[in-house]
């Protein structure tokens, strides 16, 4: 048992490091975009054009790939062997290729109504540019479908390195474009660089697939037992996975009415940074545990399944709660450090920091919803995520309508945070009633973590104010402020929870390594 736990920790840690590299490169990519285009019309149009195909892929196909394919493929591996599993994968890939290819052609043919659905720009020129860029970027739907399907084949067989490297490869292409060709080719060249990056994401998955002796055999077996299971799961799972992309689309539409359309760029910059900080940890864990949960379900090991969920939730919240509190405290200097400069001025910094700070309230909900949705999908149960997802989207829409007017971009960020929390609670309550995922002892520990994170956040916020006045301005001052405050916050949080199981486990790990 201990060897398996150590192996899982090593795998998660390795994936996390690779993912972190990709996310850091993504931040640098976003910084280059902010410096070149700030929150102006070109940036707003580009973010709209890149979001529309992404929303359609996430809403229609990501559910099938991430949440339906892996459990069924894992079941094939467990019960029927690799040959039958690869045959099922070939049929799935063929069908996804046809569907994503068809959607790509439709999107390229009719971009105008899509832009009108997703945005409400007052400036006709911005709308026209967004329409043109949307047509150019819609092939990302096809590239995403192929890449994510191949990721499913690898992750179901515990191969995580190449999938974790995908964002690194894509971001390097875009960064290289900014450093060499952006001055000549402009925003349309940037769209082409994004397309090339998405294509490369699929290409780097081919070598490990070859090593696994995976051979793609085209097939249209719509009525095979595996494809019937996928189609049966897709309906409910699809609605539950709409939550994040549809909520982001709703927020972007409301944001297009703020600051002459700049609300779109503000939410994109804040959301990207938020997902770097939250996503590196949370998505690294969920990508590793989901195939494991699928195998435990296929093998009928319910006790191990419950314990895996319980330990994953506890460990995740131990890290996520202080991340949330700390990010709220350092939002302003962090946004200034990463994005300010060039065309990104103080006003853009201020409204982006406001969005990031309030968005961070939902980080714990974001973590819990990602973990628990995988638990339901691993069991091939979609009804609860379907209902929870629909109510979460409705919550976000109502709050956006109520809060955007009086609170502008902060209201949109709060709506996003509350929606994530509602989704998490609606997923947790049925599991808690049926299986007692969180017992009294775990709930008491989570309360201690929340209190410690709150105290830490207040202290870090005070430290930021003091350091801002004491240290010199500029990037160096911001970097020192962030480093000192974040470091002090981590130390304080660990001291407040010194007797917790998590901290003691880390100390024990350090001691054992020293002995070795």
Average pLDDT, the chain: 86
| pLDDT tier at 12, thresholds 50, 70, 90 | low
In a domain? residue 516: no
Q: Other CB atoms closer than 10 Å to residue 458's CB: what's the count? A: 12
Q: How many CA atoms lie within 13 A of 459 on its CB side?
A: 18
Is residue 8's pLDDT more than 60? no
Q: How far is CA 482 from the centre of its chain?
A: 24
Range scoring the smallest mean pLDDT among 124-128, 257-261, 296-300, 503-507: 296-300
pTM listed for this prediction: 0.78
Is residue 510's pLDDT more than 50? yes
Mean pLDDT, range 305-322, rounded to an integer: 86
Mean pLDDT, range 18-41, rounded to an integer: 88
In a domain? residue 238: yes
Mean pLDDT, range 444-463, rounded to an integer: 95
In a domain? residue 353: yes
State the pLDDT at residue 358: 96
Q: Looking at the chain, how many residues does it have?
A: 516
213: its two tokens: 């002796």
State the pLDDT at residue 154: 86
The domain containing residue 345 runs over which residues?
A: 2-510
Is residue 480's pLDDT more than 80? yes
In a domain? residue 479: yes
Q: Which of these, 479, 17, 19, 32, lies nearest to 269 by C-alpha position?
A: 32
Cα–Cα separations (whole angstroms), residue 419 to 274, 390, 413: 15, 10, 10
In a domain? residue 355: yes
Do residues 270 and 355 touch, judged by C-beta distance below 8 A?
Answer: yes
Range scoring the smallest mean pLDDT among 86-90, 173-177, 204-208, 380-384: 380-384
Q: How far is CA 61 from the centre of its chain?
A: 16
Measured distance CA(377)–CA(374) in Å, rounded: 5
Do residues 493 and 448 touch, judged by C-beta distance below 8 A?
Answer: no
Do residues 492 and 456 touch, judged by C-beta distance below 8 A?
Answer: yes
Q: Other CB atoms closer than 10 Å to residue 234's CB: what's the count? A: 19
Exposure b/e, 184-216, CB count within 10 A at least 16 = b: eeebebbbebbbbbbbbbbebbeebbeeeebee
State the pLDDT at residue 89: 87
Domain count, the chain: 1
DSSP sequence for 309-377:
HHHHHHHHHHHHHHHHHHHHHHHHHHHHHHH-BTTB-HHHHHHHHHHHHHHGGGHHHHHHHHHHHHHHH
Highest mean pLDDT pick, 114-123, 235-244, 369-378, 411-420:
411-420
State the pLDDT at residue 288: 66
Do residues 357 and 412 touch, judged by C-beta distance below 8 A?
Answer: no
| pLDDT tier at 255, thresholds 50, 70, 90 | very high
Is residue 4's pLDDT more than 50? no
**Which stretches within 360-473 are classed as H helix?**
363-378, 383-435, 440-470
């Amino acid at each position: 048992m201990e060897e398996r736990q150590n192996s899982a920790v090593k795998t998660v840690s390795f994936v996390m490091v690779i993912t972190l590299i990709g996310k850091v490169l993504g931040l640098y990519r976003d910084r280059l975009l902010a410096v070149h285009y700030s929150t102006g019309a070109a940036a707003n149009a580009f973010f709209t054009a890149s979001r529309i195909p992404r929303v359609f892929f996430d809403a229609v196909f990501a559910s099938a790939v991430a949440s339906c394919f892996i459990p069924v493929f894992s079941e094939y591996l467990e019960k029927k062997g690799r040959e039958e599993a690869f045959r099922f994968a070939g049929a799935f890939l063929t069908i996804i290729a046809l569907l994503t290819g068809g959607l790509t052609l439709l999107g390229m043919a009719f971009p105008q109504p899509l832009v009108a659905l997703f945005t409400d720009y007052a400036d006709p020129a911005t709308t026209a540019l967004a329409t043109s860029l949307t047509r150019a970027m819609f092939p990302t739907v096809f590239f995403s479908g192929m890449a994510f399907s191949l990721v499913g084949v690898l992750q179901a067989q515990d191969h995580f390195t190449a999938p974790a490297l995908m964002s690194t490869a894509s971001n390097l292409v875009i960064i290289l474009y900014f450093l060499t060709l952006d001055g000549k080719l402009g925003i349309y060249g940037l769209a082409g660089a994004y397309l090339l990056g998405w294509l490369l994401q699929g290409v780097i998955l081919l070598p490990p697939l070859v090593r696994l002796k995976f051979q793609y055999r085209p097939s249209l077996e719509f009525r095979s037992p595996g494809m019937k299971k996928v189609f049966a799961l897709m309906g409910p799972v699809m609605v539950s996975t709409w939550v994040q992309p549809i909520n982001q689309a709703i927020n972007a539409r409301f944001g297009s009415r703020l600051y002459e359309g700049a609300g779109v760029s503000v939410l994109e910059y804040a959301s990207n940074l938020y997902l770097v900080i939250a996503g590196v940890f949370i998505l690294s864990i969920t990508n590793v545990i989901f195939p494991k949960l699928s195998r435990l379900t296929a093998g009928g090991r319910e006790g191990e399944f419950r314990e895996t969920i319980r330990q994953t939730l506890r460990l995740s919240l131990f890290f996520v709660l202080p991340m949330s509190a700390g990010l709220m405290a350092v939002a302003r200097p962090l946004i200034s450090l990463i994005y300010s400069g060039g065309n990104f001025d103080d006003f853009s910094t201020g409204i982006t920091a406001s969005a990031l700070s309030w968005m961070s309230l939902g980080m714990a909900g974001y973590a819990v919803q990602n973990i628990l949705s995988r638990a339901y999908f691993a069991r091939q149960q979609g009804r609860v995520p379907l209902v929870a997802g629909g109510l979460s989207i409705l919550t976000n829409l109502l709050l956006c309508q109520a809060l955007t007017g009086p609170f502008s971009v902060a209201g949109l960020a709060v709506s996003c945070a509350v929606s994530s929390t509602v989704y998490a609670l609606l997923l947790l309550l049925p599991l808690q009633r049926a299986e007692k995922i969180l017992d009294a002892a775990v709930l008491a520990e989570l309360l201690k973590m929340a209190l410690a994170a709150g105290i830490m956040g207040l202290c870090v916020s005070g430290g930021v104010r003091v350091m801002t006045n004491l240290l010199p301005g500029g990037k160096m001052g911001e970097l020192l402020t962030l480093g000192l405050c974040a470091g002090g916050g981590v130390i304080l949080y660990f001291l407040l929870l010194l007797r917790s199981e998590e901290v003691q486990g880390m100390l024990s790990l350090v001691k054992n390594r020293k002995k070795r």
